[in-house]
């Protein structure tokens, strides 16, 4: 490898230096992942409770219901957090309160679709 | 109940392992996302989605990795999501990438302007590379991945990856030379 080539690699390494994630992203991700971990724990507990009754019936019914219920709560929280994050941009771009409301609803719908794809 | 106790212990072990993976590679995933999409807002979304996807499939990935590092798997998830990001929105980066790397690198006062210009030209050149070459360079230089890891992330052989990176650097060097213009005699 030529010296010139190695030198260019050094410049490239400096140009593409690692980018630190924003602190608020770390906090938000930890909260989101924590919710998912708790959600799965509650699902497990629901499964245990149901299996103490009649396992032939309860495990088939209660587990998915518990998962969907708890999972829905976590997912709704995630949608709200994500929509809330875009509020300054919406305010900047809107031309009145009706327009702002429309943009907020569109963002909510978009985030709901994305969270549904991510989580379920 | 013995089986549920075992399940709980297994889940706790998996959650701990995932937490360690997240802490070890958050910066990698964010850096990769940032250099792929070119702005912090979308890089945050991409990073978030990558870890959500990873959490869903972590157990299987850990089982199938047979003890190998999971960073290439994580980056492959980010790679696929980034591809979807462009496909869904039918767009490529509209503006040159922010100069986050340039700003974070140490500089002396004397060479600050010249150095920044040069690094900005390199970053602009990276954006002009074909997708596979650009990705390989991001993985190598922003994330410090070796050929084997990059090969796993891109689904290529080690040999093909080595050639890909070599050609990417050569092409980028040409692009940057052209951007700098003819040198003074």
For residues B67 and B103, is the Cβ–Cβ distance under 8 A? no
- Domain boundary residue among B45, B78, B98? B98
For residues A16 and B120, is the Cβ–Cβ distance under 8 A? no
A28 assigned to some structural domain: yes
A90 assigned to some structural domain: yes
Q: Give the distance, in angstroms, between the CA of residue B97 and the centroid of all CA atoms in the same chain.
A: 14
Which domain covers residue B174, as residue numbers? 109-185
A88 assigned to some structural domain: yes
Chain B closest CA to A29's CA: distance in Å? 6
User: What CATH number has the domain bearing residue B58?
Assistant: 1.10.1740.10
Whether A15 sits inside 8 A of B122 (CB atoms) is yes
- Same domain, yes or no: B115 and B185: yes
Provide φ and ψ at B97, rounded to 5°.
Answer: -65, 145
Provide φ and ψ at B81, rounded to 5°.
Answer: -65, -35
Global pTM reads 0.68
- Same domain, yes or no: B115 and B91: no
Chain B closest CA to A114's CA: distance in Å? 9
ipTM of predicted assembly, 2 dp: 0.76
A103 assigned to some structural domain: yes
| Burial of B6 from C-beta contacts in 10 A (0-12 / 13-18 / 19+) | exposed
- Same domain, yes or no: B88 and B118: no
User: How many CB atoms are located within 10 Å of the residue B85 CB?
Assistant: 18
> Which token pair is B179?
């951007």
Whether B51 sits inside 8 A of A25 (CB atoms) is no
Q: Which residues contact A63 (CB under 8 A, 6 or more apart)?
A: A43, A46, A47, A50
Domain count, chain A: 1
B126 assigned to some structural domain: yes
Picking from A16, A21, A28, the nearest residue to B137 by CB comes out as A16
DSSP for A67-98? HHHHHHHHHHHHHHHHHHHTHHHHHHH-SSHH
- Domain boundary residue among B42, B75, B98? B98
**pLDDT tens string for chain B (185 positions)?**
566 677 778 878 888 889 899 999 999 999 999 999 888 988 999 999 999 999 889 989 988 888 889 999 999 999 999 988 777 665 555 445 555 444 444 445 555 666 778 888 999 999 999 999 999 999 999 999 999 999 999 999 999 999 999 999 999 999 998 887 765 55
Domain count, chain B: 2
> Which token pair is A94?
């809107």
In chain A, where do the E strands start and end? none
Provide φ and ψ at B144, rounded to 5°.
Answer: 70, 30
């Amino acid at each position: 490898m030529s010296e010139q080539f190695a030198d260019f690699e050094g410049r490239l390494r400096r140009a593409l230096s690692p980018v630190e994630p924003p602190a608020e992203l770390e906090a938000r991700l930890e909260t989101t992942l924590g919710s998912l971990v708790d959600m799965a724990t509650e699902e497990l507990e629901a499964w245990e409770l149901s299996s103490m009754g009649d396992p032939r019936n309860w495990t088939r019914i209660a587990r998915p219901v518990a998962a969907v219920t708890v999972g829905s709560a976590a997912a709704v929280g995630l949608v709200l957090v994500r929509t809330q994050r875009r509020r300054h941009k919406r305010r900047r771009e809107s031309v009145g309160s009706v327009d702002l409301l429309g943009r907020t609803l569109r963002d909510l719908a978009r985030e709901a679709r994305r969270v549904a794809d991510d989580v379920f | 109940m013995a089986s549920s106790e075992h399940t709980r212990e297994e889940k706790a072990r998996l959650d701990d392992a995932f937490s360690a993976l997240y802490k070890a590679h958050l910066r990698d995933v964010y850096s990769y996302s940032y250099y792929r999409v070119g702005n912090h807002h979308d890089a945050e979304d991409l990073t978030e989605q990558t870890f959500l996807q990873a959490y869903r499939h972590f157990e299987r990935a850990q089982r199938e990795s047979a003890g190998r590092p999971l960073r290439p798997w994580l980056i492959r998830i980010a790679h696929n999501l980034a591809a979807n990001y462009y496909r869904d929105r039918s767009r490529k980066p509209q503006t040159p990438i922010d100069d986050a790397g340039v700003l974070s690198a140490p500089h002396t006062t004397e060479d600050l302007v010249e150095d920044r210009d040069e690094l900005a030209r390199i970053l602009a050149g990276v954006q002009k590379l074909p997708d596979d070459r650009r990705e390989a360079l991001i993985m190598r230089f922003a994330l410090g991945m070796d050929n084997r890891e990059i090969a796993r992330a891109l689904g290529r052989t080690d040999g093909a990856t080595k050639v890909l990176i070599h050609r990417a650097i050569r092409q980028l060097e040409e692009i940057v030379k052209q951007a700098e213009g003819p040198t003074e005699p």
